[in-house]
Amino acid sequence: MDITINNQLVQKGKEKQDEFTPVFNINNLNLWYGQDHALKDIKFDIPEKQVTAIIGPSGCGKSTFIKTLNRMVEMVPIVRMSGEIVYREKNIFDPKYGVEELRTQVGMVFQKPNPFPKSIYDNVAYGPRIHGIKNKKVLDEVVEKSLRGAAIWDEVKDRLNENAYGLSGGQQQRLCIARCLAIEPDVILMDEPTSALDPISTLKVEELVQELKKDYSIVIVTHNMQQAARISDRTAFFLNGEVVEYTDTSTLFSNPSDKRTEDYITGRFG
């Protein structure tokens, strides 16, 4: 399905046209936590097989936004939403489109490494197993491939049956990425995946993201602007629940069109 559409982005002072295949089209997305209007009229498209970074000060709604993409945000009981999110031409809020099916396509890596209290092997095999794959040989293959894909295979291959809680924080996070890869999603959402990691582990995860974008579309929330600049192709700047600016990363950082973006990336607030 190779539809390239023209994505119109009207920005203050200038009009810019981008061409890419979108995996997500977000239209007029609004979200409230009770009375709190957390996301306001979000409207943009997320490209296939690129890294899209979401930046902004804490409380700007970036984390909330990424969780709407796989509907994890609905685990908060007081959430209300309006608007639409189209994933591969299907509205994800369509009752006929099961939330489990969506999450099988759109995987997620969380802020804090959250492996299951199980062996390394069982952690990675979890996804395939819940989706009905029981064949031991297939599982073995998937586990190895996913761990290799997450660049952690060499560190854990001799202790696959040990509990994942014995790994370091950085290893745990890469294990969580491997776990995500095991069901071969289409999109991987990453919610500040390096915020709990040391610099060396952070570097490893960043390198991994670069590697993964060959096969996956990646959306990454980060509080770290340098990280966004280093690894992403496109960047969206969120402020107070609104998208202030969304363009390719080099433009956003070198030549921001909005004053607020400039203030933020030059460190004047946030």
Pairing mode of beta strands 22-33, 36-47: antiparallel
| Cβ closest to other proteins, residue 26 vs residue 72 | 72
Q: Is 193 in the site for other proteins (CB under 8 A)?
A: no
Contact flags string 80-99 toward other proteins, x per CB under 8 A: --------------------
* Dihedral angle of Cα 252, 255, 258, 264, to the nearest 10 degrees: 70
Cβ 196 vs Cβ 111: under 8 Å = yes
Q: Is 183 in the site for other proteins (CB under 8 A)?
A: yes
Give the residue, chosen from 41, 94, 140, 141, that forms a contact with other proteins under the rule CB under 8 A.
Answer: 141
Give the residue, chosen from 32, 33, 93, 116, that forms a contact with other proteins under the rule CB under 8 A.
Answer: 116
Residue 166's Cβ-side half-sphere holds a number of Cα atoms within 13 Å equal to 10
Contact flags string 9-48 toward other proteins, x per CB under 8 A: ----------------------------------------
What is the size of the binding site for other proteins (CB under 8 A)? 40
| Residue of 180, 181, 175 lying closest to 162 (CA atoms) | 175
Q: Is 176 in the site for other proteins (CB under 8 A)?
A: yes
Give the residue, chosen from 62, 103, 213, 234, that forms a contact with other proteins under the rule CB under 8 A.
Answer: 103
Beta carbon of residue 103, minimum distance to other proteins (angstroms, whole number): 4
Contacts of 94 (CB under 8 A, 6+ apart): none
- Extended beta strands in the chain, E state: 5-11, 14-20, 22-33, 36-47, 51-55, 79-87, 90-91, 106-109, 187-191, 217-221, 234-239, 242-248
* Radius of gyration over every alpha carbon of the chain, rounded to an integer in angstroms: 19
Cα–Cα distance, 67 to 88 (Å, whole number): 17
Give the residue, chosen from 34, 130, 210, 259, that forms a contact with other proteins under the rule CB under 8 A.
Answer: 130
Structure token pair of residue 75: 């685990």
Please report, as a single letter, which amino acid is at residue 192.
E
Beta carbon of residue 210, minimum distance to other proteins (angstroms, whole number): 13
Beta carbon of residue 166, minimum distance to other proteins (angstroms, whole number): 11
Beta carbon of residue 53, minimum distance to other proteins (angstroms, whole number): 20
| Cβ closest to other proteins, residue 43 vs residue 88 | 88
Number of other residues whose CB lies within 10 A of the CB of residue 26:
21
Beta carbon of residue 108, minimum distance to other proteins (angstroms, whole number): 4
Contact positions toward other proteins, by CB under 8 A? 70, 72, 75, 77, 100-104, 107-108, 110, 112, 114-118, 126-133, 138, 141-142, 145, 149, 165, 176, 179-180, 182-184, 214-215
